[in-house]
Amino acid sequence: MVNSDGHNSAQSRARADLMRIFAAAVAAVEPRRVVADAFEGRAPGADGVHGMLEKARRVYLLAAGKAAMGMAIEGRERIGAKLHDALVIVPLPDRVDESSPGVPSFRVMAAAHPIANEASETAARSALQFVAGAQHDDLIVFMLSGGASALMAVPADGLTLSEKVAVTSALMNAGASIRELNTVRRHLSAIKGGRLLQSSTANFLTLMLSDVPGNDLATIGSGPTAADPTTYSDAVAILKRRRVWGRAPEVIRNYLERGAAGELNETLKPDDSALRRVRNIIIADNRTATEAACRAAAALDYTVEHGRDLSGDANETGAALGTLLCGLKSERTCVIAGGETSVSVTGDGKGGRSQQAALAAAFELAKLGARGR
């Protein structure tokens, strides 16, 4: 957001600058670009990736999330002749025709986001079967991005997808954070919370394009190959704190209570030996984008303020951001902030969290205009 005085021409210039800054942020986290950086060792923590590929007898490629196709296409090129099989799970309606020019031969499955559907369960079961087919001397390159929690959704034994969706939908509408939401998801799932890793004897290289503030590995895609420090008791506490417990299906409540009582196997914990077979690497995140935006703004001669991470209630966060903008002194200041907010939905409103936050900020700016500033 830019604070700049002037008439229509100045506003047009400011808008053009904003679009350039935004484009720089998007380019910095472009899926093919960040995967290429990982395979070439330029991404943080990505040293040794080439060596893992060299040691593997065969390589399997699994990609899931909103950036899955771009990540998979670049991964296919980087893996080369060792690639044995590939499965790509994308959101509806983004299915890509595998026969299109420039698209490698992938098995592509499309599922729903942000609320899982039957296709999500089919995709998740296919992913479990896919990794189970790899052997101990094979490598599974798992490319994970935002949206994977909904795209791969298979309920734990004894539960149905509709029961699980009822709980997650209620949590979303109650304004639950992504950490809260995914804690509950992990404890109702047969694939999340490290269970994908446990379903195979192969080694894993998980490359993550993170949209989670703080980059908690267990929260990104609900951590299919990551350790989960949370418990069934935590899931129960979240549902009660968000006042969803009483509305949850009885079978869900009974299942979580059994888990909290120690009657069910927990998710993968940090001391589990299975973690020796996986390397989880965050190859890009929200800060990758915001730092690129800061550089672009500075190149356009703006004074740059790298704002705090955006989290919490969208109305409160947006209002706070608007207040910050109202207090800017420089005529050419660009405030860069990124993150993920939440919204409590009480009716049938349309839009999203970012629109809600932007509107709340706009109200604060409108107050400034009403005072003649």
pLDDT at 224 over 80: yes
pLDDT of residue 35: 97
Residue 124 shares a structural domain with residue 196 = yes
**Is the omega angle on the peptide bond into residue 213 within 30 degrees of 0, that is, cis?**
no
Contacts of residue 231, defined as CB under 8 A and 6 or more positions apart, other chains included, come to 187, 259, 260, 266
173 is a domain residue: no
For 250, the token pair is: 């009885």
Residue 11's pLDDT is 81
Helix (H) or strand (E) holding 353: helix 353-370
In this structure, are 193 and 56 located in the same domain?
A: yes
Please tell me which residue, 133 or 368, carries the higher pLDDT value.
Answer: 133
The token duo for 207 is: 């490359």
Judgement on whether residues 148 and 216 belong to the same structural domain of the protein: yes
The residue-averaged pLDDT of 42-61 equals 93
Q: Are residues 197 and 276 in the same domain?
A: yes
The reported pLDDT for the residue numbered 365 is 87
Tell whether the model's pLDDT for residue 136 goes beyond 70.
yes
Question: In this structure, is residue 183 part of a structural domain?
Answer: no
DSSP 183-204: HHHHTTBSSTTTHHHHT-SSEE
Whether residues 50 and 108 share a domain: the answer is yes
- Check whether residue 219 and residue 295 sit in a common domain: no
pLDDT of residue 85: 96
pLDDT of residue 348: 72
- Give CA torsion, residues 299, 284, 307, 362, to 10 deg: 90
DSSP 290: H
Residue 225 · residue 279 · CB < 8 Å: no
Average pLDDT, the chain: 91
Instruction: Examine the domain organization and report whether 107 and 122 are in the same domain.
Output: yes
Full residue range of the structural domain in which residue 333 is found: 2-24+288-370
Amino acid at 51: G
Q: Is the pLDDT at 92 greater than 70, yes or no?
A: yes
Phi (first) and psi of residue 80, to 5 degrees: 75, -140
325-363 pLDDT, tens digit per residue, is 888 877 789 999 998 888 877 767 777 888 999 899 999
pLDDT band of 97, cuts 50, 70, 90:
low
pLDDT tens profile 106-116: 899 999 988 89
Q: Measured between alpha carbons, how far is 184 from 197 in angstroms, rounded to an integer?
A: 19
303-306/278-284 β-pairing: unpaired
Please indicate, yes or no, whether residues 81 and 20 belong to a single structural domain of this protein. no
If asked whether residues 98 and 218 sit together in one domain, one would say yes
Tally of CA atoms within 13 A in the half-sphere of 54 that contains its CB: 5
Assess if residue 93 is contained within a domain.
yes
Is the pLDDT score of 266 beyond 60? yes
Domain tally for the chain? 2
